């Protein structure tokens, strides 16, 4: 009987070690990080670059880091400071107590929900006489910076063109002021808020110009935001599309 018991124990130990190695090799990393992401979508006009659920979640390194939790906030840019906001959450899982196939299904369902919200936003009216970019941008980067997340990311799909009574890039005098004295524009817009400590926050600004004028105005405004947020400690990337640096994940 003892011999049989030893054999059974040995088989169980080998099976357990084999399963642990499989999980280690196939599903690293096995810890659950917390990811906070905000996606800002400009509704002031129709843009060439639009987000997708898969693209957004690639910044959370899903499905590679399939066990982590994701708190996703989606908000719009419009002519007003206060805009619509949508929240989605993917709960984190502990790999030893979870089924990898079920987790893949949860991630796929989360991506589908994200795409559904994006579609809902895109179906709404486009084209506003004004565009308030600075105020909601500042609010969201400060909000996400204050979270206790391991990864903090903001994705802004916008031409970044502020067009309010306080400052308008379409006004020649305002534009010249920004080019020559960006600190004065920073002071003007600070009535809507200032960036806090943004160390640990990664910000992406996506836009693909349709014309030379689009390119000129976006270059001016994105440069301003890059300076503003990097001075506060954030990492800022500007371009037409998402390029994920896996070394940062």
How confident is the model at residue 180, as a pLDDT? Answer: 96
Q: Is residue 46 a contact partner of residue 126, using CB atoms and an 8 Å limit?
A: yes
How confident is the model at residue 121, as a pLDDT? Answer: 84
How confident is the model at residue 248, as a pLDDT? Answer: 42
Q: What is the pTM of this model?
A: 0.79
Q: Residue 165, exposed/middle/buried by CB under 10 A (0-12, 13-18, 19+)?
A: exposed
The whole-number mean pLDDT for each consecutive block of 10 residues of the chain, a chain of 249 residues, reads 56 52 47 84 80 80 70 84 78 68 85 91 72 93 95 94 94 96 96 96 93 94 97 94 52
Q: How far apart are CA 135 and CA 143, in angstroms?
A: 12
Q: Is the dihedral of CA 26, 28, 34, 38 positive or negative?
A: negative
- Cα dist from 135 to 43, 78, 139, 163, whole Å: 15, 11, 6, 12
Q: Residue 158, exposed/middle/buried by CB under 10 A (0-12, 13-18, 19+)?
A: buried
């Amino acid at each position: 009987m003892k011999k049989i018991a030893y054999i059974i124990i040995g088989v169980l130990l080998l099976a357990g070690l084999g399963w642990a190695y499989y999980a280690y090799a196939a599903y690293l990393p096995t810890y659950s990080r917390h990811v906070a992401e905000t996606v800002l979508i400009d509704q002031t006009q129709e843009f060439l670059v639009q987000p997708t659920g898969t693209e957004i979640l690639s910044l959370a390194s899903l499905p590679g880091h399939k066990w982590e939790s994701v708190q996703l906030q989606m908000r719009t840019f419009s002519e007003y400071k206060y805009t619509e906001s949508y929240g989605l959450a993917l709960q984190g899982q502990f790999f030893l107590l979870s089924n990898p196939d079920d987790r893949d299904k949860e991630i796929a369902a989360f991506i589908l929900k994200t795409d559904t919200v994006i579609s809902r936003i895109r179906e709404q009216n486009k084209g506003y006489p004004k565009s308030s970019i600075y105020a909601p941008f500042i609010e969201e980067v400060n909000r996400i910076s204050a979270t206790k997340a391991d990864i903090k990311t903001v994705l802004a799909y916008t031409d970044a063109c502020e067009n309010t009574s306080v400052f308008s890039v379409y006004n020649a005098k305002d534009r010249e002021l920004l080019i020559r004295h960006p600190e004065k524009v920073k002071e003007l817009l600070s009535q809507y808020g200032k960036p806090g400590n943004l160390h640990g926050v990664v910000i992406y600004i996506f836009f693909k110009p349709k014309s030379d004028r689009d390119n000129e105005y976006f270059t001016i405004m994105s440069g301003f935001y890059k300076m503003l947020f990097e001075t506060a400690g954030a990492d800022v990337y500007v371009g037409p599309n998402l390029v994920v640096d896996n070394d940062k994940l």
